């Protein structure tokens, strides 16, 4: 582990000064490697899928683990998108000349070495590596055991491609072991690591307890959609359905639908018919009374712990409220600060929701499934951060840089 850290530190020093052209060539080579070796990657993924299924893994973990040609195509396209983005390194943020003649500038620079610890998500290997490379950071990757062969194969291919294209050796490293003791050691490598990013709710408590290096937290999403009394009902059905069913295993998937009582009798039956045979609705008493009897619908009484729960499955909690104030109270109580939405045609209601909901991404009349770095024009994302320092929401290139002050003088000295 110490050797990995030293190699990453050396690579970061070189990455900080290589040209944008070299970084972009490396990213394009990495994308080409994913395209050229799809068969090898998919075979490794099938090995992981089979082992996970034999171990009893089910549900959202399998969906996150699964690789397909279409998903690999998307990963490669995201890398190419990162190559087209402006290079953040060297960007001038502030420049001023003081009364004493000093010229003071604030310039964006890489963080240095970014480590990522993650679970059954092979896409993270590609996303983190590409963004860190473009931002001039070296990367240390440690994936979970479920996706070990998938992650190892992707990391090996893109690391080799990046080096052959001119990136320094060791810019992308993967820890070829699932020994958890190595994670604890990684979290204590203060001489080498500048930021660690845990991806996966199960990892966060362990990382927070043992990290001696800065940590960027995110990913746990209890996401709400509030259907206001002034909502377009058809639009609200489409938004809730997409937020829940497009991909229920991701952190920006809808968990709780909140419905104003004035529109509940029209909206809830329409939503229930859409979800019949697909989504289980866990309803409060008012909602359950309205949707009972819809053919094919699985609707049960919600329990207390269904509110504030990240379902990560085709399950949604449903609550009827009497006012926008009550809806805001529900979001305030249960939101994890990830993504929350209001559907309304009332500008003042939308404005109150935007102003008062303290969450990383607030939506008006749009699916929460858009909380994604690529969808936000960031090329990809390191994480969806739910904390407030130093980054919030989808974390892209700018958020994995820092800055330094440059002071130019002509002999000035500070008076005693």
10 in Cβ contact with 170 (< 8 Å): yes
Digit-coded pLDDT (tens) for 127-182: 999 999 999 999 999 998 999 999 999 999 999 999 999 999 999 999 999 898 99
How many C-beta atoms surround the C-beta of residue 328 within 10 A?
19
Domain 2-216+395-408 sits in CATH 3.40.50.720: no
pLDDT at 329 over 90: yes
Domain limits of the chain?
Answer: 2-216+395-408, 223-370
Q: Reply yes or no on whether the pLDDT at 412 is more than 80.
A: yes
Task: Give the model's pLDDT for residue 157.
Answer: 98
End-to-end Cα separation, the chain, in angstroms: 48
The 10s digit of each residue's pLDDT in 255-296 is 999 999 999 999 999 999 999 999 999 999 999 999 998 999
CATH architecture of structural domain 223-370: 3-Layer(aba) Sandwich (3.40)
Please classify residue 301 by burial: count the beta carbons closer than 10 Å to its beta carbon, then call 0-12 exposed, 13-18 middle and 19+ buried.
Answer: exposed
Q: What average pLDDT does the chain have?
A: 95
Structure tokens at 284: 């409060």
What string of DSSP letters covers 54-119?
A: HTT--THHHHHH---HHHHHHHHHHHHHHHHSPP-TT-EEEEEE-TTS-EEEEEEEE--EEEEEES
The tens digit of pLDDT for each residue in 179-219 reads 989 999 999 999 999 999 998 777 888 999 999 999 998 86
Residue 223 dihedral angles phi and psi, to the nearest 5°? -105, 135
Q: Which long-range contacts link 85-92 to residues 24+ away (Cβ below 8 Å)?
A: 85/134, 85/378, 85/379, 85/397, 87/20, 87/23, 87/134, 88/134, 88/135, 88/397, 88/398, 88/401, 89/16, 89/20, 89/135, 89/136, 89/401
Q: pLDDT tens digit string along 237-256?
A: 999 999 999 999 899 999 99
pLDDT value, residue 219 = 65
pLDDT tens digit string along 331-379?
A: 999 999 999 999 999 999 999 999 999 999 999 999 999 999 989 999 8
Model's pTM, two decimal places? 0.89
- How far apart CA 228 and CA 183 sit, in angstroms, is 46
- Average pLDDT of the residues in 113-130: 93
The C-alpha atoms of residue 157 and residue 34 are separated, in whole angstroms, by 7
Run of H or E including 396:
none
Cα–Cα distances in Å, from 8 out to 28, 89, 215, 346?
21, 18, 18, 52
Residue 58 has pLDDT above 90, yes or no: no
Give CA–CA dist 130/409, Å, rounded.
Answer: 38
Q: Which one, of 259, 310, 248, lies nearest residue 283 by Cα?
A: 259
The Cα–Cα gap between 368 and 371 comes to 6
- State residue 72's pLDDT score: 97
């Amino acid at each position: 582990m110490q050797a990995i850290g030293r190699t990453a530190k050396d690579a970061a020093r070189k990455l900080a000064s290589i040209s944008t052209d070299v970084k972009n060539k490396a990213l394009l080579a990495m994308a080409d490697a994913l395209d050229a070796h799809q068969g090898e990657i998919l075979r490794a993924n099938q090995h992981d899928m089979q082992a996970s299924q034999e171990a009893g893994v089910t549900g959202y973990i399998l969906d996150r683990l699964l690789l397909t040609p279409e998903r690999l195509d998307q990963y490669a396209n995201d890398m190419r998108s990162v190559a087209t983005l402006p290079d953040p390194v060297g960007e001038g943020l502030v420049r001023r000349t003081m009364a004493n003649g000093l010229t003071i500038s604030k310039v964006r620079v890489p963080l240095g070495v970014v480590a990522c610890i993650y679970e059954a998500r092979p896409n993270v290997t590609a996303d983190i590596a590409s963004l860190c490379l473009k931002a001039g950071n070296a990367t240390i990757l440690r994936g979970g055991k479920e996706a070990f062969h998938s992650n190892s194969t992707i990391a090996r291919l893109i690391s080799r491609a990046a080096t052959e294209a001119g990136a320094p050796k060791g810019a992308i490293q993967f820890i070829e072991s699932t020994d958890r003791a190595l994670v604890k050691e990684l979290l204590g490598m203060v001489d080498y690591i500048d930021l660690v990013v845990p991806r996966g709710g199960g990892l966060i408590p362990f990382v927070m307890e043992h990290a001696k290096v800065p940590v960027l937290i995110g990913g746990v999403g209890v996401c709400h959609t509030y259907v206001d009394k002034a909502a377009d009902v058809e639009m609200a059905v489409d938004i809730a359905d997409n937020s829940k069913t497009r991909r229920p295993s991701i952190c920006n998937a809808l968990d709780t639908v909140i419905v104003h009582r004035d529109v509940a009798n029209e909206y809830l039956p329409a939503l229930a018919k859409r979800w019949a045979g697909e989504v289980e609705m866990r309803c409060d008493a008012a909602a359950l009374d309205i949707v009972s009897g819809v053919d094919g619908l699985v609707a049960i009484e919600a329990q207390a712990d269904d509110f504030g729960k990240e379902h990560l499955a085709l399950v949604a909690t449903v609550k009827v409220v009497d006012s926008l104030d009550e809806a805001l109270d529900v979001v305030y109580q249960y939101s994890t600060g990830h993504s929350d939405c209001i559907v309304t045609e009332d500008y003042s209601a939308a404005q109150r929701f935007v102003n008062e909901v303290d969450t990383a991404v607030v939506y008006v009349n749009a699916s929460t499934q858009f909380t994604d770095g690529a969808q936000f024009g960031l090329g990809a994302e390191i994480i969806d951060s739910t904390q407030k320092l130093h980054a919030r929401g989808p974390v892209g290139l700018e958020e994995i840089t820092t800055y330094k002050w440059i002071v130019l003088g002509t002999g000035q000295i500070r008076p005693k």
